[in-house]
Amino acid sequence: MADIKELIRIAFDARKYSYTPYSHFRVGAALLASDGKIYQGCNIENASYGAANCAERTAFFKAISEGVREFDSIAIVGGPEDATEFEYCQPCGICRQVMAEFCDLDHFRIILARSTEDYQEFLLRDLLPHAFLPEQLDSASRK
């Protein structure tokens, strides 16, 4: 199982592939699945700005599209493209919602890193309290 520093290093590696000609803000993510596999993601922007995809969702969708749906943690790093020092990069609301679809609120760990030595760790519930979850559709027509 990868340790936190290794996951952060892999997130920084993913950030190199960001496609950010509009924001020039590059984000990398490393998603650790429960089976030990790691999925990298970067943000991918578009001339139609709303079509951009965040690094976290890129990593999740790569894993899910390969049949993997159980996850342990994600490391996230981000900052301006010319940054040499980093602030903590918070996952956006849409990415938090995607995490909540597939991850246990009280077990999935979100690691926000400025470097391999300087990071904060949260549970998904900390970052998405009062989440709207799939169970809430059960009273409607969801099968």
User: Which residues are catalytic, by number?
Assistant: 56
Nearer to ligand THU, 38 or 137 (CB): 38
CA neighbor of 11 nearest in space, from 34, 36, 42: 42
Check binding of 89 to ligand THU (CB under 6 A).
yes
With b for 16 or more beta-carbon neighbours within 10 A and e for fewer, the 77-115 pattern comes to bbbeeeeeebeebebeeebbebbbeebebeebbbbbbbe
CB of 42 to ligand THU, least distance (A): 8
CA neighbor of 7 nearest in space, from 75, 107, 79: 75
CB of 142 to ligand THU, least distance (A): 28
CB of 40 to ligand THU, least distance (A): 13
Which residues of this protein are in contact with ligand THU, per CB under 6 A? Answer: 20, 23, 25, 27, 43, 45, 52, 54-56, 76, 78, 89, 91-92, 95
